Every structure is written in structure tokens, then in C-alpha cells.
Amino acid sequence: MKVYFIGAGPGDVELMTIKGNRRLRACSYVMHAGSLINPEILAPLPESTRIYDTSKLNLEEQIVIYNEAKGVDQDVARLQSGDLSIYGAIAEQMRALDELGIQYEVIPGVSSVAASAAALKSELTLPEISQTVIFSRISGRTEVPPDEDLEKLASHKCTICLFLSITKIKDVVEKLSVHYPIETPVVVVYKASWKDEKIVRGNLKTIADKVKSEGIRLTALILVGAVFNTKDFQDSRLYSKEYSHLFRKKNVDTK
């Protein structure tokens, strides 16, 4: 018996990996993260599959299910939104599984951050504009360590992607405005890759009102930085003529 932690992707069923899907279909127990998982992913599962919505269960209740599956020697698929490495809350589960002597494996997924960048047709990094991306969140029920307070992170003025923060967009703007120029682009992507995806573009001055008037309160990423508005950047050296003389001809890996 094994538990498979599977990244379900951002929403669009076609953005779940083939490997994740194959594993999911082979498991008799499925635990999924509620509204962030597209029901179309679960629809084709056989009727005999035992499906649990973990957003309604505490850790102890989830452990009861793991134990039950262990008792009957059946595999469990544990579906989480996007990729598991970002706010996946799987570390505590793995610790519990270690204590129960249950083996597990992690199958990655497409994060909502990749789906949002794709929806925007944007790169998060551009030469000489920003070569760094910060993934973070504003403090909420989960406190952010003081050294990672958004105002401190803002001092880098690089690209920032904020998860789990949309209800606090006003606080986000206030903290970012300490360091970023007020005209810095801010884009909110609601339900990236879902049929009702919405993109709201603005800047530090305008975005909070726009988000409010669109009524966005859930399932949205806030993306901030000069990469979202400029056509005024240097070409990447990857395809430059000079670079090809130096490296491409010599067949050096340029990635």
C-alpha cells in the first residue's frame, strides 16, 4: 500500500500530468483538496472509488482514512491543487505517514503561478528588468516569519507572486508601495486556466479598487513587477548572434 501525493494542476483537467492521472485512476481511495480541484478530474473515477474532501477533515480524521486503506492494502491518491511544493501542506502528512510506516511518493503538478503567467502571456523574468521571482503571501491565519514581511521583500523590487492574499489586497498594496513606484503593474489572475478565469490589470494605485469592483475574494494570484508592462527590455542572450558564436557552435548547453 502506498500514498501518492499528486499535483492536480491549476484547474484545467488537461493541465494535470499523464503520470498523476494514471496513478489517480489506479487508486481505490482518493483524498482531494475540495473546491480547488476541478470536479472533472474526479468524474471518470469508478463508482467503487472512495472519495474524501479533505477540506472538511482535520489531520486526525485523515489519518483514520490512511489507516483504513492500509488495513485493506489499497493505494491512496492525495490530490492537491497546482504543484505540491508551494503551500501544499503535505509535510505534516508525510510526517504522520512516517509514523504509521506507510510509504509515499510525490508526483508534481503545474502550479497556478505557471498557469497565470501563461494566461498573461508573460515571462516572470526579463533581462535587466527582473531576474528574480519571490513566491510569498501576506500574513493571515498563518503568520509569515518577520524577516519575510512583505514590506521587506518589496525592497528587492523584483517580480513577486502572492498566494493566499487576495482578501488583503489593500494591505498588500500598502506594504509594496513603500518600495515600488506607484505605477508598478499589478495583475490579479482569478481561477487561472478555469473556464471562468478572469484577469484584472492595474497598478499599485488602482488594483485594490478594481479587485473590489470585480468582487474577487478567492482563488486568485497577485503578480507584481515591471515585467508585466514593458516591451522595453534587452533580448535574452540565449539567442544572440554573439552568444551563438561563443557557445551554440560549440554545442554547450545554454539553458
Query: From the list 86, 90, 133, 134, which residue makes contact with ligand SAH (rule: CB under 6 A)?
Result: 86
Q: Does 83 bind ligand SAH (CB under 6 A)?
A: yes
Q: Which of 138, 186, 144 is nearest to 163 (CA)?
A: 138
Q: Does 57 bind ligand SAH (CB under 6 A)?
A: no
Q: Does 168 bind ligand SAH (CB under 6 A)?
A: no
CB of 83 to ligand SAH, least distance (A): 4
Q: Are residues 96 and 24 in contact, defined by beta-carbon separation less than 8 angstroms?
A: no
Q: Does 79 bind ligand SAH (CB under 6 A)?
A: no
Nearer to ligand SAH, 59 or 64 (CB): 59
Residue nearest to ligand SAH (CB): 82
Q: Which of 166, 164, 171, 176 is nearest to 136 (CA)?
A: 164
Q: Are residues 130 and 234 in contact, defined by beta-carbon separation less than 8 angstroms?
A: no
Q: CA 146, 150, 152: angle at the middle one, nearest 5?
A: 70
Unique residue bearing C-alpha cell 498594496: 173
Task: Tell me the pairing of strands 133-136 and 185-190.
Answer: unpaired
CB of 48 to ligand SAH, least distance (A): 29
Radius of gyration of the chain (CA): 21
- Candidates 138-146, 149-157, 176-184, 190-198; binding stretch for ligand SAH (CB under 6 A): 190-198
Unique residue bearing C-alpha cell 488495513: 71
Tell me the C-alpha distance between 107 and 186, whole Å: 31
Judged by CB under 6 A, the number of residues near ligand SAH is 23
Amino acid at 242: E
Q: Does 164 bind ligand SAH (CB under 6 A)?
A: yes
- Candidates 123-131, 168-176, 204-212, 215-223; binding stretch for ligand SAH (CB under 6 A): 215-223
Nearer to ligand SAH, 162 or 204 (CB): 162
Using alpha carbons, list the distances in angstroms from residue 113 to 25, 176, 191. Answer: 26, 19, 11
Query: From the list 62, 175, 191, 211, which residue makes contact with ligand SAH (rule: CB under 6 A)?
Result: 191
Q: Does 93 bind ligand SAH (CB under 6 A)?
A: no
Nearer to ligand SAH, 54 or 81 (CB): 81
**Which residues pair with residue 201 across a beta bridge?**
187
Tell me the C-alpha distance between 11 and 79, whole Å: 12
User: Given the rule CB under 6 A, which residues bind ligand SAH?
Assistant: 10-11, 36, 81-83, 86-88, 111-112, 115-116, 163-164, 189, 191-194, 219-221
